[in-house]
Amino acid sequence: MVAFRNVLIHGYAAVRHETVWNVIQDALPELIVVLRQLLADSPP
């Protein structure tokens, strides 16, 4: 995630919109599942 953010922030002129869209479509749903599980497992 950090590396992708750095590319977006520092290399925005060279970022392909298709690449960003693919990350949103492919990786984001899995990340949401993992984050929800981490939040459910964490103490209040």
- Residue whose token pair is 């690449």: 19
Q: Cβ neighbours of residue 7 under 8 Å, at least 6 residues apart?
A: 15
pLDDT tens track for 14-34: 888 898 899 899 999 999 999
Decide: residue 7, CB within 10 A, 0-12 exposed, 13-18 middle, 19+ buried: middle
> What is the per-residue pLDDT for 37?
96
Is residue 11 very low, low, confident or very high in pLDDT (cuts 50, 70, 90)? Answer: confident
- Give the Cα separation of 15 and 34 in Å (integer): 26
The DSSP secondary-structure symbol of 42 reads S
Q: Looking at the predicted structure, is the pLDDT value of residue 12 above 80? A: no
- What pTM was computed for the model? 0.61
